Structure 1
């Protein structure tokens, strides 16, 4: 399993790093569009849309992303996705409705078109600002995840959401937040690789409010992760798919990004 994970990670880095660092924004957008296409397919599968239905849904999502490029402003798109995560995200995690049936399935399939379109636009907009900016946005989620893993392993005692994801702890969540705070403050103090998400927030809001916003973004990265974990648990699967051997599916890799991306861009808009 470890060998498979490493090989997959190397292949992904070999594809994504050169495109992110050196390719034109259009090429980066095309690659992210492919990611969104597969993520939409997995979203529909978790909601039990069926084999044909999931393929059709992925095609519809691709059309929705393409159509959204004609919008004069993406603010409303970020706003709609942000409202979903601010309202529906916590509600679902607390009340735990059956997501793959009835009104909830129809709602989540419709919401997914907005969520994935907002995700695509946010990443492309971030890449337009600069490579350092888009990497700093991704780094926030990666740091929160890595910090949570190691802090949870070392200190985890109190379960965060035992009915949804038994492995996650409050200590891990705090460790992930601490990792983000340390790196953010260091980046701001050193003025490293600016403009970054951290420098942009500090310039717009001031240091204290910028750190508060980063705290909120870390919290929603956890919500995105737990939301996908709940859909998988209800669907009776361990991974969103087997597209990435050793890593699961595309959604397994971007679940925490889905709420963070539109919320971050909305706050900077």
Structure 2
């Protein structure tokens, strides 16, 4: 009988792995993801200044002392608006330098596992590394359980029924745009809530969906919170918060 390590497979020299580590609970990693976290030469991860980095925190039980780690620290978070040219300049330069650091390891024949919260190809910083490196280095992307999937599961909220169409919207959109899109959807997930919570709540109410909306904070993590959005009276949520609007299609 094959061992779990045989099933998961090991890392190949000089290869970049985008490893989806799921929504927060380490038990939701795939076998492939867990195997690579344990076998890559370098464990790389993004983090905000002064913080551990959530992707790194998730895989802590899988990392032995002494592992070679590459911390990629964002130069800024919310100090500068995303639309500001200064933000775009600084973050583009950061991604270039991060890609150069990863590339150096790959050229030296080391495998690099870049951790990604949720799924690497879904609103993830990994995509910026993939775009810069996939032409010059072997890359394997390991899918992960998305944050929204973890949230609707923990909220006990089936998100789509029958022919429901799911819309995924960023809370950074203008209030009128959010309200218009929500008014035309069957089911919705609103991400990037954070400081946008009051605006998003108003847009949902304007679309007539407030009674169906659920606020989920840190889904699958130890300190998760799930409450009806109508009961949320605070001004902002943490980075790991989203709003679910389950569909109401035909349930057989």
TM-score scaled to structure 1, two decimals? 0.26
Greater helix content: 1
TM-score scaled to structure 2, two decimals? 0.28
Greater strand content: 2
